[in-house]
């Protein structure tokens, strides 16, 4: 979307490596969510963030509201991490999704 810009649009990683995905917002986001859409289409909620950082296993996400961005760090990438990652920003009770980052993890 034009209010939420995700980068990169696509990414290929070797198994066991690390990477970071980013979202930049042109709106004043109050909360941010990160989702993983698996190849079957199911969307899994990875993080729900107010400004700050959260960590869950090999994933860590930061939301910086002052500089209008959020990042998702993937450590020690595994094959099952493959899919499309979406970030979504909440602004005035409306939600805006980015266009996604397609991640492929290769053995």
| Residues within the interface to other proteins (CB under 8 A) | 1, 31, 33, 35, 40-43, 45, 48, 86, 88, 90, 93-95, 97-100
Q: Please identify, using beta-carbon distances, which residue of 18 and 38 lies nearer to other proteins.
A: 38
Tokens 């209008």 identify what position? Answer: 68
Per the DSSP assignment, residues forming a β-bridge with 96 are: 89
Q: Are 98 and 8 in contact (CB under 8 A)?
A: no
Q: Please identify, using beta-carbon distances, which residue of 64 and 102 lies nearer to other proteins.
A: 102
Q: Please identify, using beta-carbon distances, which residue of 56 and 107 lies nearer to other proteins.
A: 56
* Tokens encoding 103: 């991640």
Residue 88 Cβ vs other proteins, minimum distance, rounded to whole Å: 8
Residue 39 Cβ vs other proteins, minimum distance, rounded to whole Å: 12
Residue 107 Cβ vs other proteins, minimum distance, rounded to whole Å: 24
Using CA atoms, how far residue 92 sits from 2, 41, 86, 96, in Å, is 17, 28, 20, 11
Residue 47 Cβ vs other proteins, minimum distance, rounded to whole Å: 9
Round to whole Å and give the CA distance between 99 and 6: 6
Q: Please identify, using beta-carbon distances, which residue of 75 and 96 lies nearer to other proteins.
A: 96
Using CA atoms, how far residue 26 sits from 18, 42, 74, in Å, is 27, 27, 24
């Amino acid at each position: 979307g034009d209010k939420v810009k995700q980068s990169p649009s696509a990414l290929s990683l070797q198994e066991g490596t690390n990477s970071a995905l980013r979202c930049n917002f042109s709106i004043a986001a109050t909360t941010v969510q990160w989702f993983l859409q698996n190849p079957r289409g199911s969307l899994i909620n990875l993080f729900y963030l107010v400004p700050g950082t959260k960590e869950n296993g090999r994933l860590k996400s930061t939301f910086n509201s002052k500089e209008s961005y959020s990042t998702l760090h993937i450590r020690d990438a595994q094959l099952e991490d493959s899919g499309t990652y979406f970030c979504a920003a909440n602004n005035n009770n409306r939600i805006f999704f980015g266009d996604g980052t397609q991640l492929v993890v290769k053995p």
